[in-house]
Amino acid sequence: MKNSVLFDNVRLGPYTLRNRIVLPPLTRSRSSQPGNIPNDLMADYYRQRTGAGLMVTEGTQIEPRGQGYAWTPGIHSPEQVEGWRRVTDAVHAEGGIIFLQLWHVGRVSHTSLQPGGAAPVAPSAIPADNVKVFIETGPGQGALALPSPPRALTTAEVKELVQLYAQAARNALDAGFDGVEIHSANGYLVNQFISAHTNRRDDEYGGSLQNRLRFLREVTQAVADVVGKDRMGVRFAPLFATTEEDRVYLGLVEEDPHKTYIEAVKVLEEVGIAYLSLAEADWENAPELPEDFRADVRKAFSGKILYAGKYTPERGVRVVEAGWGDLIAFGRPFIANPDLPERIAHSCPFNPVDPATMYGGTDKGYTDYPAYQD
């Protein structure tokens, strides 16, 4: 497939990407403890995958309360910034382009992960259901657990959180990242503000759809003011259906997902960010996004559009050629195939993913997947 549109050069803000293939954010829980610090093993993992036109890191908590899973890395301490610098140095040495994903889980957390064992924070005190968190049960040992009931943020605390996103973006630049992506998907904090299911606030951040989009607008603008609007993206998961499958994360299905997300996309267009990332439903036999939604997103947004969610190279080509998307992310295939772009180019078979080594652990199932040998 080396002549396919997937191997076109693409402009993204100030950068020229070597292809349309993206390493999306993938939680792997390999940071060093204590302190959730990125390490040499992580640097090696990202370095192996620099064949991607764009790389986006795993979700990275912007502050201690933003963590919902054991051993995920942060971007709020000097040690974490230093650890991430090892990663960006390794990636840049190979000519790669890497953005950091700014993450806050909001209510999808557990008291054992929160500072002082406090309740997780959220727009409203509504517990998360249908999802699990991952907590440490001993050194290097963990287990899935139900999220703890959250408490509602005060208006002043919401405004402070906007500034915490801006500070995390400054830290990302200090760590050498080329840009950042705001995680606004999968039922985490920004998504919790957007959704009528999780936001019952009666201040300026709740009520009408425009009020529920206010936190997204303020965070996006604050981060753009730090990194530059042409060096950032935002990720949404506009679900039009759900599943009964047992899952670690999922998202929220709005009463009118089409309207909710087109209005959210318009917020991003007003700020003028470089790209929009859309994470599609990725469970077994999940429906594709409606074509009229894809077309309306393209009309509403003038930046680059990235699609992710169980994509094959063939499906990626179809979405690009239809004019709906510009960049295609491959998650699980990239976990198991560090040389994924090469494999796609030469139509080589893919290594299968080992589900047992997905979260936490050592180099096994992380940096030891082989490159293709003829």
Are 310 and 24 a contacting pair, CB within 8 Å? no
Determine if residue 228 is left, alpha or beta; phi over 0 gives left, psi from -120 to 50 gives alpha, anything else beta: left
Instruction: State both tokens at 264.
Output: 């959210």
Neighbours of 37 (CB within 10 A): 19
Q: Which residue in the list 45, 46, 188, 261 is annotated as catalytic?
A: 188
- Give dist(CA 149, CA 139) in Å, integer: 25
Q: Is 188 a catalytic residue?
A: yes
Instruction: State both tokens at 350.
Output: 């893919």
- Give dist(CA 313, CA 319) in Å, integer: 10
Residue type, 179: G
- What letters, b where the CB count within 10 A reaches 16 and e where it falls short, cover 254-285? beebbebbbbbbebbeebebbbbbbbbbbeee
Are 166 and 63 a contacting pair, CB within 8 Å? no
Is 221 buried (19+), middle (13-18) or exposed (0-12) by CB count in 10 A? middle
Which one, of 150, 158, 108, lies nearest residue 133 by Cα? 108
What positions carry a catalytic annotation? 188
